[in-house]
Amino acid sequence: MARNSKFNNVEENPEDKKIKLNKQNFQKTLKLFRFALPYKNYFIIGMLFLVLSTLTTLSFPKLAGTLTDVADGKSNAVLVAISDFCKNLNVTNPINQVALIFFGILVLQAMASFFRVYLFAIVTEKTMADIRSKLYSKIITLPLSFFEKNRVGELVSRMNTDVAQLESMLSFNLAELFRQMAVLLIGITLILISYPKLALVMLATFPLMIVAAIFFGKFIRKLSKKTQDLLAQANTIVEETFQAINVVKAFTMELFEVKRYRKNLDEVVVVALKASVFRGAFVSFLIFALFGGIVFVLWYGATLIASGEMKTGELVEFILYMIFIGASVAGMGDLYAQLQRTVGASERILEILEEESEFVLEEKLVRSSNENSTERITQKPAIVAGNIIFKNVQFSYPTRTDVQVLKSINFEILAGQKIALVGHSGAGKSTIAQLLMKFYKLEDANGQISIDNQNINDINTPYLRQNIGIVPQEVILFGGTIKENISYGKLSATDAEIIEAAKQANALDFIEGFPEKFDTVVGERGIKLSGGQRQRIAIARAILKNPRILVLDEATSSLDAESEKLVADALDNLMQNRTTIIIAHRLATIRKVDKIYVLSNGNIMEQGTHDELFAQNEGIYNNLVRLQLEVN
């Protein structure tokens, strides 16, 4: 059973929790960076280019100061080194010499920046693709109980938002963090050694900026996270309304949904603008403090130049270093907030990755180190006949543990038999089918479901489900073509097999009637097809799957008489030589089954053929039949 995640309810805001940058949180984040290990060589070379780019950047103030000194007719050690280097280049003018070196370093920096960006992009894109693939493969193998506790729109939003946060950190923020730290440390070291008096004056303003960064950063981070979560909620609204567009239109709720979405967006705007106030105040303070410090340093430097203690070029060099250092300090606050958001995103991604899967995917393309799964069975026991036994089965849904849906279910279905489950809504009919397919686990150790004398817990889950076909009441088709939807039952099916399956499902006539025939696009969730057409596509899909066991869950309950006749004929073809479980409300469709089980309040209250049960005048089944006859 999936654990209760922090994002189980969209009303909870997982980002409201303050993420502290401590050793434990860093270790959690580093778990995700294991996905970058296959591309570590690209990362290392990219880091070398980053170092080269940073060093060339830090040489600009020194060269600018030297150029100023040359213009004043003065010399320094850097100029002497440049002159020696330029002798072989036939450049004798000192200004031209410095300018030439300046240009050369610019070219070197441009090349280093290009390769750094490109190499980091390789690492980032490949790593993010692996994480997205891993995340998707994890989610798609989680049990139904997980999806009952987590809204689809929220999961999709988290996948996009949180992975994008990691992508931003790996592609830009990580490199920028290293760059800013290098500029800060190297720059401060250089000015402390070369210009201790001016450096001490400048560094006196740093504590004030750091305190301001911490103060403003606290509010900016909180509001930014709230904005991000409100956007996730807005995305959830979009996802849900698009998925249930028929319901929205049927109840003419378009305006309501637009207002609901707009209200959420207005909340986003309010919070985002509030965050911008803090950002604006922070930026204004930094600009004032930074340029105020520059003015003060200019004044003090001018007094040193006037007294002969400093050259003009040295002051220019110092000011440029101070600008670089100030910019690094200003950027640290935002980078710190970005790093906190990345840690938070990492935690939420890891929560999903650490959920217990139903089984481990065998696909080699899905990277799977330290898979967390409850099933690692590689053996595939054969399901040959299709005998089914339910023994002392009791069950409550994970989200409703206080309600016992099945209390003590015992029955046996022989291979090839057709049985029906009937009863009022909530009696447990669909639950029996879901347990048979291992959509949920039996928590009671005394209960057991077996197929061909094999406990289904000992049967590989994918293999079990490959041998069970289901035709549901509400057919969900994918937005591709008819051919793609039918072949979902058997991906390796030939065109001839697909056509034969459609023929047996009484679907070939209407498919051939479309201009594009099997290449007809059915639309999102099959919206371009009628209910009867969707049902017959689902039956064709099940025929192509060729399962030993078949589950029909209210397969004809929502159809008109003509469509029901066509679907019923197709179902007759599908049920031949298969163990079949029919879940039905319309009792006229199950008169020919081998046995009917009548469920009520989680128990099997009656069992027998239609004639046997109908003969019991005071029986539940007899009463259900009479009620339907009265309604009809």
Residue 214: CATH number of its domain: 1.20.1560.10
31 with 119, same domain: the answer is yes
461 with 539, same domain: the answer is yes
For residue 406, give the nearest of 418, 420, 423 by alpha carbon: 423
Tell me the three state secondary structure of residue 141.
coil
283 with 411, same domain: the answer is no
Write down the pLDDT at residue 482: 86
401 with 292, same domain: the answer is no
Whether 595 maps to a domain, the answer reads yes
Nearest-angstrom CA–CA distance, 502 and 86? 82
* Residue where the block lists tokens 């002798």: 87
Whole-model pTM: value is 0.65
Nearest-angstrom CA–CA distance, 143 and 374? 11
- Give the CB-side neighbour count of residue 253, counting CA atoms within 13 A: 13
Domain end, chosen from 353, 375, 410, is at: 353
549 with 460, same domain: the answer is yes
Whether 451 maps to a domain, the answer reads yes
Domain interval for residue 445: 388-631
349 with 483, same domain: the answer is no
Between the alpha carbon of residue 461 and those of residues 141, 332, 366, the distances in Å are: 11, 50, 18
Instruction: Give alpha helix (H) positions in 195-311.
Output: 196-203, 206-243, 245-250, 254-306
465 with 516, same domain: the answer is yes
Whether 525 maps to a domain, the answer reads yes
Nearest-angstrom CA–CA distance, 580 and 573? 12
520 with 596, same domain: the answer is yes
Write down the pLDDT at residue 75: 59
Task: Tell me whether strands 579-583 and 595-600 are parallel, antiparallel or unpaired.
Answer: unpaired
- Number of structural domains the chain divides into: 2
For residue 96, give the nearest of 77, 110, 82, 78 by alpha carbon: 82
177 with 294, same domain: the answer is yes
341 with 404, same domain: the answer is no
Whether 489 maps to a domain, the answer reads yes
Rounded average pLDDT per 10-residue block, the chain, 632 residues:
40 45 61 79 88 82 72 61 63 69 82 87 85 82 76 75 74 74 81 78 71 72 76 80 79 82 84 80 76 76 78 78 74 69 74 72 43 46 74 83 83 87 82 86 79 84 83 78 85 86 84 86 72 82 84 68 69 79 76 85 85 82 73 46
Nearest-angstrom CA–CA distance, 57 and 51? 10
For residue 470, what is the domain's CATH number? 3.40.50.300
